[in-house]
Chain A
Amino acid sequence: GIQVEQSPPDLILQEGANSTLRCNFSDSVNNLQWFHQNPWGQLINLFYIPSGTKQNGRLSATTVATERYSLLYISSSQTTDSGVYFCAVSGNTGKLIFGQGTTLQVKP
C-alpha cells in the first residue's frame, strides 16, 4: 500500500513565525487531505488538494503529484494553530492512509 511520511515530527514556533510542513507519499494518489487535530481532539479539514495550490487565510497548501509530495504553509502563526497536522492520501485501489502527523506548538 501507499506509504505516507510527514516531516518534521515536532515543531516549536514563536507566535508570528512562519512554517512549512511536508508530506511525502510513495505512489500516485487521487485524494490528499490536510487536517488539523486541535488540543481537544477534533479533526478539522484544512485542504482537499490531490494536486495544485490552494489558500485559505494564513494557510496554503501545494501538492506536486508528479513528485509525490505536498506542503502545508502556515504564516504568522498563532497559539490557536497548535495541535497535530495530518496528511492523508488514497490511491486508485486503496483506502485513506494517514501519516504519523506533525505536532506543532506555538508559544506566545
Chain B
Amino acid sequence: DAGITQSPRHKVTETGTPVTLRCHQTENHRYMYWYRQDPGHGLRLIHYSYGVKDTDKGEVSDGYSVSRSKTEDFLLTLESATSSQTSVYFCAISDGGYSYEQYFGPGTRLTVT
C-alpha cells in the first residue's frame, strides 16, 4: 500500500471557523491531489500540486486554499467553513501527471455544523 496518511480522520467544526486538513506521504511522489466525495457527485478534484510550492486549481476550488512547503506534506485549508463543505476529503498521490496511476489516502470525514 502507498504510504499516505491523512489527519485528522474525523472532524466536526462550526460554520465560520478555519479548518486545515493534512496529507502526508512517504513515497516521494511529485504530484499530490485533494478531492472531495459527495453523494450524487462522486469524487471531484479541489486542488493539486505538481511540486513544492507549485499548486493549481481543480474543478471545485472555491472556498479552499492549499499549500505545499515540503514534498511529503500537502495542506488543505478551509478559511471559513460552510455547511456545503461537509464532505469526505481524500488525498491522492502520483509519481507523474494525470496519465500516471493515482493512489488514495484513507480520507477525512468533515462535518460543518
A interface with B by C-beta (< 8 Å): 30-31, 33, 35, 41-43, 45, 48, 50, 86, 88, 90, 94-96, 98-101
Contact = CB atoms under 8 A, between A and B. Distances in A.
Contact of B42 (A33, A86, A94): A86
Question: What bracket does the count of chain B residues touching chain A fall in?
Answer: 20 to 34
Contacts, number: 46
Taking chain B's interface residues, is the majority helix, strand, or loop, or is none over half, making it mixed? Answer: strand
In order of increasing CB-CB distance, the 5 nearest A-B pairs are A90-B98, A43-B104, A30-B99, A48-B101, A98-B42
Interface in B17-52: 33, 42-45, 48
Q: Which of B33, B42, B48, B101 has the most CB of A within 10 A?
A: B42
Contacts of B98: 30-31, 90, 94-96
B21 to A, nearest CB: 15
A88 B48 CA distance: 17
A34 B59 CA distance: 21
Contacts of B64: none
A99 B101 contact: no
A95 B100 CA distance: 11
Contact of B101 (A33, A43, A100): A33
Given A30-B98, A94-B98, A95-B59, A45 B103 contact: yes
A73 B109 CA distance: 31
Contacts of B100: 31
B74 interface: no
Contacts of B104: 35, 42-43, 45
